[in-house]
């Protein structure tokens, strides 16, 4: 087709417009302008500004002084580990817990809307309300501990808030609905007749899941993990409210907040933010490399 | 490909399936003998796919039972029935190569690796896909995907192969080829096949026996010849190419046939089942059984044919290669579909001669035939092929 157009050379203006349109360049592209302005103004510019700022340390010492300072100070450096220790397990839990629930809920059945609504409600709550709830529910005198004590399972109340577990629960409550909704939509994109075909070929449900559903779902799992991981990695309010912000849940965003608004050292805060972004990118890159080993084409369903 | 978990016969006993309050399938009684090719035929929504899914175990029954010789199998899950199935959309695993798709069922049986490789290769050879073994289904054409689906179902040497409209997504030429192919595989492997289709020609040409379904109810079970020459009721007739279905009244029924009247016509026909005088009836005749004669050319010869003569005006003429499909309308406004080798033109006055033995008279029952006839209006495959 392209040879045909190049051989016959009609008035050049027209043919050039056709050639451009064939590559998707036409006046409809103008519709992208507002979005482009928005992205440039609210994302690219602040990012580059922050990046530039991080190379201009307040106390001098070269462009990388703030990065050096972060990595030589164990108190700061450990925030990376502390945040990863929260975000990776929480994201993994959210993804893995969503799979069986979404798997059961693929089809149509009575009450599906209600159950989906109940599972998704936590999105609407916001972190602060969740934290309040957790403080009341899981606190030393909360219902959870009182119930366990009442049925004689424990003598002393379990410490479930103002430490690692408080933040972990909070991340699960806010992150699970996202993971669940995403995985549900990925799962319903897989043609259900594939599993039925596997069944007629003698595969029991375990084999069907392992050989058919899981490989087709893997790219969706990777994407979902990345999204919930990024959400969890930037945890801030719940790390303060239900965590132990001076100890085991002093996450990286707290370090950046303290640099910016307690020490008023914006360049250092920017450096921390850049490090935060770099760590996220590394984790995502690892996941995407893993994902690239799987089939990525159509899954036969409504997609 | 010799070993088989064979059976003598498979018996469906009063099988029924309801969806909500609706009967998708009612009281299906059918005995399938080993080696038979059975076609379930009917318009969409008639319950034929439901019947197939019930057989496969993908849908639980709401009534009745299925017996493989003396073993009740309708309570078994699909993976333990050992039936092969070819799906309408093929349902190939998109993330596996052709080879892995075919090998999947053998792997599920935990057979030795060497045997899996050997049988997979043999099945792929059977459907002539040797050069595509390493491709993913997405890289294959529709016909090739179809072959993979068949290879995947038969590599397990199933006691029964179920096919759910396997050719409906293919173009006309390929459909004819695959029809022969499926029949060939069925015969050479000695398979037992249940084949679902809405295409009467496909069913007639492939099956040993046909089951005609309508609204979940069995209309008739019989050999292609039985169904073609003696449809049990006008629903089946409509599906078997009796495109002209007319609502008339029987005025006389005796040894000489049935006389039917209405719409200004008086015709003599053969009763397809018990018809008594005074009953409302539906008469059916195939387009190819009607002879078209020009009005002026000897009316005497027409009388000799001992047929019914119906004067009519040609309205629509379609060229179908060897013949013309003609729609002619009588003075009372009835439309007749006719096939004729003679060239006629719209507006011609003609006489339609309908042989009495080819005009089947059915009791009308509760329903009325739809005003336009039941057969689809596209030219059927054989006519396309013959041009």
pLDDT at B370: 63
Would you call B79 and A203 a contact, using CB atoms and an 8 Å cutoff? yes
Sign of CA dihedral A290, A295, A296, A299: negative
What is the spatial distance between Cα B259 and Cα B271, in angstroms, rounded to a whole number?
10
Q: Which of B80, B88, B95 to mutate to test the interface with A (most CBs of A within 10 A)?
A: B95
Mean pLDDT to the nearest integer, A17-46: 88
The partner residue sitting opposite B91, judged by closest CB among A197, A204, A216, is A197
The partner residue sitting opposite A191, judged by closest CB among B79, B91, B104, is B91
Same domain, A38 and A147: no
pLDDT at B2: 40
Pairing of strands B265-271, B257-262: antiparallel
Same domain, A23 and A82: no
Looking at every residue in chain A, the average pLDDT score rounds to 88
Q: How many structural domains does chain A have?
A: 2
Tell me whether residue A299 is in a domain. Answer: no
Mean pLDDT to the nearest integer, A267-275: 94
pLDDT over 60 (residue A253): yes
Same domain, A26 and A113: no
pLDDT over 90 (residue A255): yes
Same domain, A80 and A41: no
Same domain, A134 and A19: no
Read off the CATH number of the domain in which A112 is found.
1.10.3720.10
Counting one residue from chain A and one from chain B, the pairs whose CB atoms sit within 8 A come to: 80
Q: Give the range of the structural domain holding residue A48, as residue numbers without chain letter.
A: 1-54
pLDDT over 60 (residue B306): no
What is the spatial distance between Cα A220 and Cα B69, in angstroms, rounded to a whole number?
46
Tell me whether residue A85 is in a domain. Answer: yes
Mean pLDDT to the nearest integer, B6-26: 87
Same domain, A101 and A248: yes
- Judge residue A282's burial from the number of C-beta atoms within 10 Å of its C-beta, 0-12 exposed, 13-18 middle, 19 or more buried: exposed
pLDDT at B311: 87
Would you call B95 and A215 a contact, using CB atoms and an 8 Å cutoff? yes
Same fold: B9-229 with B234-295+306-374? no
pLDDT over 50 (residue A248): yes
The partner residue sitting opposite A197, judged by closest CB among B81, B85, B109, is B85
Fold entry, domain B9-229 = Rossmann fold (3.40.50)
Going by pLDDT thresholds of 50, 70 and 90, the confidence category of residue A278 is very high
**Token code pair at residue B359:** 């005009």
The partner residue sitting opposite A202, judged by closest CB among B91, B108, B162, is B108
pLDDT over 70 (residue B351): yes
pLDDT at B384: 42
Tell me whether residue A168 is in a domain. Answer: yes
All structural domains of chain B with their residue ranges: 9-229, 234-295+306-374
Q: How many CA atoms are closer than 13 Å to the CA of B341, on its beta-carbon side?
A: 1
**Token code pair at residue A118:** 């109940």
Among chain B residues, the shortest Cα distance to A204 is held by B79
What is the spatial distance between Cα B102 and Cα A90, in angstroms, rounded to a whole number?
40
Rounded to the nearest angstrom, the gap between the alpha carbon of residue B282 and the centroid of all alpha carbons in its chain is 22
What is the spatial distance between Cα B86 and Cα B158, in angstroms, rounded to a whole number?
12
Tell me whether residue A87 is in a domain. Answer: yes
SS3 A295: coil
Backbone angles phi, psi at A126, to 5 degrees: 85, 150
Edge to edge, what strands does the sheet with B63-68 contain? B22-33, B9-19, B63-68, B71-72
- CATH homologous superfamily, domain B234-295+306-374: Nucleic acid-binding proteins (2.40.50.140)
Same domain, A111 and A245: yes
Q: Which residues of A touch B77 (CB under 8 A)?
A: 199, 204
Would you call A196 and B77 a contact, using CB atoms and an 8 Å cutoff? no
pLDDT over 70 (residue A301): no
Query: C-alpha distances in angstroms, B154 versus B27, B178, B185?
Result: 29, 15, 9
Backbone angles phi, psi at A196, to 5 degrees: -65, -40
Give the DSSP letter string of B142-164. HHHHHHHHHHHHHTT--SEEEEE
Nearest-CA neighbor of B253 among B280, B276, B278?
B276
Lookup result for tokens 């009247």: B261
Q: What is the pLDDT of residues B54-65, one digit of tens each?
A: 999 999 899 999
pLDDT at B223: 94
pLDDT over 90 (residue A124): no
pLDDT over 50 (residue A258): yes
Would you call A202 and B93 a contact, using CB atoms and an 8 Å cutoff? no
Same domain, A199 and A283: yes
Rounded to the nearest angstrom, the gap between the alpha carbon of residue B343 and the centroid of all alpha carbons in its chain is 31
Same domain, A46 and A80: no
Same domain, A34 and A182: no
pLDDT over 60 (residue A281): yes
pLDDT over 80 (residue A274): yes
- The H or E element spanning position A278 is helix A266-291
Same domain, A116 and A225: yes
Same domain, A199 and A105: yes
Please, are residues A167 and A243 in contact by the beta-carbon 8 Å criterion? yes
ipTM for the assembly: 0.77
Looking at every residue in chain B, the average pLDDT score rounds to 85
The partner residue sitting opposite A202, judged by closest CB among B79, B93, B162, is B79
Would you call A194 and B91 a contact, using CB atoms and an 8 Å cutoff? yes
pLDDT over 60 (residue A303): no
Q: What is the pLDDT of residues A198-237, one digit of tens each?
A: 999 989 999 999 999 999 999 999 999 999 999 999 999 8
Tell me whether residue A303 is in a domain. Answer: no
Among chain A residues, the shortest Cα distance to B84 is held by A200
Mean pLDDT to the nearest integer, B176-191: 88
pLDDT over 60 (residue B66): yes
Would you call B94 and A198 a contact, using CB atoms and an 8 Å cutoff? no
Going by pLDDT thresholds of 50, 70 and 90, the confidence category of residue B7 is confident
Q: What is the pLDDT of residues A98-107, one digit of tens each?
A: 999 998 888 7
Q: Which residues of A touch B89 (CB under 8 A)?
A: 191, 193, 300
What residues pair up with A163 in beta bridges, in sequence order? none
pLDDT at B250: 85
Tell me which range, A185-189, B41-45, B260-264, B274-278, is most confidently predicted by mean pLDDT: A185-189
Going by pLDDT thresholds of 50, 70 and 90, the confidence category of residue A37 is very high
pLDDT at B302: 44
Tell me whether residue A63 is in a domain. Answer: no
Among chain B residues, the shortest Cα distance to A214 is held by B95
pLDDT at B372: 42
Mean pLDDT to the nearest integer, B304-316: 77
pLDDT over 50 (residue B204): yes
Q: Over the Cα atoms of chain A, what is R_g?
A: 25
Q: Does A212 touch chain B (CB under 8 A)?
A: yes
Length of chain B: 387
Q: Over the Cα atoms of chain B, what is R_g?
A: 24
Nearest-CA neighbor of B248 among B351, B367, B375, B362?
B362
pLDDT over 90 (residue B120): yes
B9 vs B366: which has the higher pLDDT: B9
Q: Does A303 touch chain B (CB under 8 A)?
A: no
- Give A102's contacts (C-beta < 8 A, 6+ positions apart): A180, A183, A184, A187
Mean pLDDT to the nearest integer, A158-179: 91
Tell me whether residue A36 is in a domain. Answer: yes
What is the spatial distance between Cα B17 and Cα A262, in angstroms, rounded to a whole number?
71
Mean pLDDT to the nearest integer, B205-229: 91
Q: What is the pLDDT of residues B251-285, one digit of tens each?
A: 888 777 888 888 878 888 888 777 777 788 888 99
Please give, rounded to a whole number of angstroms, the shortest distance from the CA of B46 to a CA of chain A: 21
């Amino acid at each position: 087709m392209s040879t045909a157009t190049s051989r016959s050379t009609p008035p050049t203006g027209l043919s050039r417009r056709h050639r451009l349109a064939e590559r998707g360049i036409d006046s409809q592209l103008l519709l992208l302008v507002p979005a482009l302005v928005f992205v440039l103004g609210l994302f690219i510019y602040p990012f580059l500004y922050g990046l530039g700022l991080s190379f201009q340390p307040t106390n001098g010492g070269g462009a990388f002084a703030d990065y050096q300072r972060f990595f030589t100070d164990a108190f700061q450096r450990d925030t990376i580990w502390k945040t990863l220790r929260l975000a990776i397990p929480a994201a993994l839990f959210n993804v893995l817990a969503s799979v069986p629930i979404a798997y059961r809920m693929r089809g149509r059945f009575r009450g599906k809307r209600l159950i989906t609504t109940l599972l998704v409600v936590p999105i609407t709550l916001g972190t602060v309300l969740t934290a309040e709830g957790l403080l009341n529910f899981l606190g030393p005198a909360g219902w959870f501990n009182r119930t366990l004590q009442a049925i004689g399972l424990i003598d002393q109340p379990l410490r479930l808030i103002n430490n690692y577990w408080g933040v972990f629960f909070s991340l699960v409550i806010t992150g699970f609905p996202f993971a669940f909704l995403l995985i549900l939509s990925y799962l319903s994109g897989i043609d259900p007749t594939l599993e039925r075909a596997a069944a007629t070929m003698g595969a029991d449900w375990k084999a069907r899941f392992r050989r058919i559903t899981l490989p087709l779902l893997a790219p969706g799992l990777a994407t979902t993990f990345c999204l919930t991981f990024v959400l969890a990695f930037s945890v801030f309010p719940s790390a303060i409210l239900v965590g132990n912000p001076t100890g085991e849940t002093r996450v990286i965003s707290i370090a950046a907040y303290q640099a910016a608004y307690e020490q008023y050292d914006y360049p250092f805060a920017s450096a921390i933010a850049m490090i935060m972004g770099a760590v996220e990118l590394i984790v995502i890159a690892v996941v995407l490399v893993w994902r690239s080993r799987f089939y990525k084409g159509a899954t036969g369903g409504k997609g | 490909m010799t070993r088989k978990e064979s059976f003598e016969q498979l018996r469906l006993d009063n099988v029924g399936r309801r969806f909500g309050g609706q009967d998708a399938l009612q009281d299906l009684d059918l005995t399938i003998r080993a080696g038979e090719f059975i076609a379930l035929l009917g318009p969409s929504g008639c319950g034929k796919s439901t019947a197939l899914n019930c057989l496969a175990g993908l849908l639980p029954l709401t009534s009745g039972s299925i017996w493989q010789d003396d073993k009740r199998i309708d309570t078994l899950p699909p993976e333990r029935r050992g039936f092969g199935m070819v799906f309408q959309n093929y349902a190939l695993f998109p993330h596996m190569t052709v080879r892995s798709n075919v090998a999947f069922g053998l792997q599920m049986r935990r057979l030795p690796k060497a045997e899996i490789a050997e049988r997979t290769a043999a099945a792929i050879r059977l459907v002539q896909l040797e050069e595509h073994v390493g491709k993913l289904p997405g890289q294959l054409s529709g016909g090739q995907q179809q072959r993979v689906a068949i290879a995947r179902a038969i590599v397990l040497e199933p006691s029964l192969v179920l096919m759910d409209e396997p050719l409906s997504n293919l173009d006309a030429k390929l459909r004819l080829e695959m029809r022969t192919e499926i029949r060939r595989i069925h015969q050479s492997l000695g398979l037992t096949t249940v084949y679902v289709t809405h295409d009467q020609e496909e069913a007639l040409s492939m099956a040993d026996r046909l089951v005609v379904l309508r609204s979940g109810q069995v209309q008739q079970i019989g050999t292609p010849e039985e169904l073609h020459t003696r449809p049990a009721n006008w629903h089946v007739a409509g599906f078997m190419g009796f495109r002209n279905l007319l609502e008339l009244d029987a005025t006389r029924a005796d040894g000489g046939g049935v006389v039917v009247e209405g719409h200004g016509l008086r015709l003599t026909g053969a009763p397809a089942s018990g018809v008594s005088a005074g009953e409302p009836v539906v008469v059916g005749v195939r387009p190819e059984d009607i002879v078209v004669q020009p009005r002026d050319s000897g009316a005497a010869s027409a009388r000799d044919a001992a047929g019914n003569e119906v004067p009519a005006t040609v309205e629509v003429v379609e060229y179908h290669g060897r013949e013309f499909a003609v729609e002619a309308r009588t003075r009372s406004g009835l439309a007749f579909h006719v096939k004729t080798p003679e060239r006629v033109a719209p507006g011609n006055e003609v006489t339609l001669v309908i042989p009495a033995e080819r005009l089947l008279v059915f009791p009308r029952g509760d329903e009325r035939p739809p005003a336009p006839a039941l057969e689809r209006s596209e030219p059927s495959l054989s006519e396309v092929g013959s041009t």
